[in-house]
Structure 1
């Protein structure tokens, strides 16, 4: 029976946060962002292992982030890009997972993931071989701009979705896709799978699962997370 493993690429610096501290270590509701993410997966019974990929020169990692954790390990093999970090992590896990096991790749800066979203993803994707991702249908009209900031085109939002994570694929399929297309710099795992001819499934995510990218995002995520605890 296939098992579920989580891989968290955490080697980025998050320069758009305008902070000297990488965003995955910034404080949110009294704990680092990454600690919230770890706890969500630690509490999911179906998850058997969690691997965090950090940069070799990461001086901000604190072993206390794993206090009380039973499933989580950290490895220092992060690459120059997200895709490279994920592929390096997959290679490091080669002897610990089976080819048909599921890998759930999740952003270190998405602390709002919860059990309902995880269960929805696993239920929707777990019986297929195409894999899938959490995502949200676009609610706003999209505009394409020129280099001066002028509108050049209005893009219909029908059938357009905003990708989130986790992105869930069979170990062997994801490894092969990233290995084959690493030089094309896929922006997420689903894109590499698309280039392999797969059609990953879109599974409804949540606004609470937004990625912390800019300084104001911390307050937004904190409010969304607190609202669900009341």
Structure 2
């Protein structure tokens, strides 16, 4: 089970202009720590992960190096990204050792993925060469003309909001990036490169809490979710302590 060596590529080179912070949003503080530290720690803790590559903008590499050393992340290597996210992922794939057979791509700005959901994702994607995490769309989605007029109302039951992690056999992902570079094609995510080449991509149910932090409102929501998780964890801990104390006095 999960015998293939697993590598993680975390693209973290985007500057996040919609956040309006004036610097890379990956370094914004979330519950007292940089957002990127939350993202990396998850994979650092997973026994199934052999290597992690964090891909950063050239100017951010020294900051990422300091972050990795401060948090003692020993699975991490760092490489310089490209102009587009796709270029950064390709650089991250190339930076992984040749022993890595399966690759997970995960956004640096998705710090709320849980270890439980990640391991469930690995379990459910073992038999697929390419798979993504996604959630059902809640809102009615309309296709709109550039003039602002509605063209069509799409069937919501067949629509999914795509998240990361996304997992691929290395050979297939590397080939997709090679073909895309050769053709000058840029997709919106790595799965779209495989779709462009005609490879099937499996969808696995994601989590509503696995949000991408893009705006100040997202950062506020991420803080609330983490605080709620801490409160739940503390409550469970108190309950266990009380139960133990009750038993010990019998």
TM-score (norm 2): 0.85
Q: Which residue of 2 aligns with 1:71?
A: 75
**Post-superposition shift, 1:196?**
2.1
How far apart, CA to CA, are the structure 2 residues paired with 1:120 and 1:12?
28
Quickly say closer, same or farther: Cα 1:79–1:154, change in 2 above 3 A.
same
| Greater radius of gyration (CA) | 2
- 1:41 aligned counterpart, secondary structure: helix
State the Cα distance separating 1:59 from its structure 2 match. 6.5
Question: Which residue matches 1:185?
Answer: 186
Cα-to-partner distance string for 1:115-157 (whole Å, 9 max, x where unaligned):
12111211111233x2201110111111223335443432221
Deviates more, 1:148-157 or 1:162-171: 148-157
Q: TM-score, normalised by structure 1?
A: 0.92
Q: How does 1:8-157 map to 2 (within 5 A)?
A: 8-58=10-60, 61-66=63-68, 67-76=71-80, 78-93=81-96, 96-98=97-99, 101-128=101-128, 130-157=129-156
Unaligned runs of 5+ residues in structure 2 are: 233-250
CA-based RMSD: 1.6
Alpha-carbon distance in structure 2 between the residues aligned to 1:142 and 1:108: 27
Match of 1:194 in 2: 195
Count of aligned pairs between the two proteins: 225
CA gap 1:59/1:103 in 2 versus in 1, 3 angstroms? closer
Higher helix share: 2
Aligned equivalent of 1:220: 221
CA contact (8 A) 2:31 2:226 kept: no
Structure 2 counterpart of 1:170: 169
